[in-house]
Amino acid sequence: MRLITQDSIIYLAKKYKTPLYIYDFDGIKDRVSEFKQAFKARKSLLCYALKANSNLSLLSFLAKLDCGADCVSINEVKRALLAGIPKYKIIYSGVGKNDDDIKEALDSDILFINIESKMELLRVEYIAKMMNKCARIGIRVNPDVDAKTHPYISTGLKENKFGVDMDSAKAMYIYANNSKYLNPIALHFHIGSQLLDSTPIMQSMEKVVDLVFGLLALKIDLKFIDIGGGIGIRYENEKTIDLYSYAQGILKALNGLDLSIIVEPGRYIVGNNGILVSKVIYEKYNKDKRFCIVDAAMNDLLRPSLYNAKHGIRHISMNNEIVEIPPLLKDKNDFIDKADIVGPICESGDYLAKNIALPPTKSGDLIVIESAGAYGFSMSSNYNSRTKCAEVALSGGKDRLICKRESFEDLIANEKPYLGE
């Protein structure tokens, strides 16, 4: 992981204002190379998971690195195509595809659609028949394995909404193989996100490989095994999965199978290569509780509020101006070394960090939230009518705006024409 320098952060914060997302495209390129190197012993395709960060300039950059796309909405499919990712490298997954989504995916002639249920299989077949097409599909298998991650991002247990059980999957493959309008070419599984232990992945592989051998024995000609993503990153002091060992485990499990591997990393590619820069508005105390109030909020980075996620924090002192506080307003307590970093939103759950060691801050200082490249901007909102922040890319020592800061006029553009009706 490369560290975006303090000088760069100060310069970019002044140039583009705050809050501000900054992404290191050189670091992203390194991560892609690591993944490709790990799986070079077999035919493989890296399909970047757009849900982590779907900025068009980022997708265009990844397209030039020969990446495909893992999409979970039809608009993500459109983004991938617009950014120049070839249709034959795009996969469309997700549990709630409606008829229009399916039609558009089939019209776009992408690599395949991952099927999440028996009813979806029948719906895709019906629509393909109406369009006189043969739909290339994969089926998402739920191996019922505990991913040992946050329950909100666990996807491989039977109580999760994703995929189908092994027996159902086998029946669905047999049905699809006998259909004129379905072509089952892939098997997919994905057990969760931010995985720090490869054991559950290997347990899932064992189950899935047994199913694959059974399907091949039935003359179902699979071409791809889509092993999903989910490899975790270091936010604090986590011990992460060794990528080479992970890849070797996958390759060993697939010994004897002539299938191309599809991997779907998202967080691993962009997570550590992005930061959110915010500016200190001021500090306040409630008795012995200290708050550092900044201009970024839960609408900019939801992970701490939603998952109780913890990010590394950097404080950058910007000026030495001392504000004199009248004696009547001075706090009676001494300086407290720990603080909550909170935003302006009208929610007690609006925080970016809780009870962390933080030196004294002044208005105008910068607070940098590390490892915010994944599930940051892509999960942002306009809550409290706040506008979304700008995004900037760093590459080869040069900065480039890749998403302008939203204005109030942008915020109301879809509503204003109907005002007063």
Catalytic residue positions? Answer: 346
Beta carbons of 271 and 194 less than 8 angstroms apart:
no
What values do phi and psi take at 245, rounded to 5? -65, -40
What values do phi and psi take at 199, rounded to 5? -55, -50
Question: Which tokens sit at 203?
Answer: 């347990």
Give the containing element (helix H, strand E) for 115: strand 112-115
Distance CA 241, CA 285 (A): 41
Q: By C-alpha distance, which of 18, 7, 3, 79 is closest to 352?
A: 18
Q: Indicate the residue type of 167.
A: D
Distance CA 405, CA 289 (A): 33
Distance CA 408, CA 198 (A): 46
Beta carbons of 231 and 195 less than 8 angstroms apart:
yes
b or e along 289-328 (b: 16 or more beta carbons within 10 Å of the residue's beta carbon)?
Answer: ebebbbbbbbbbbbbbbeeebbbbbebbebeeeeeeeeee
Distance CA 290, CA 22 (A): 28
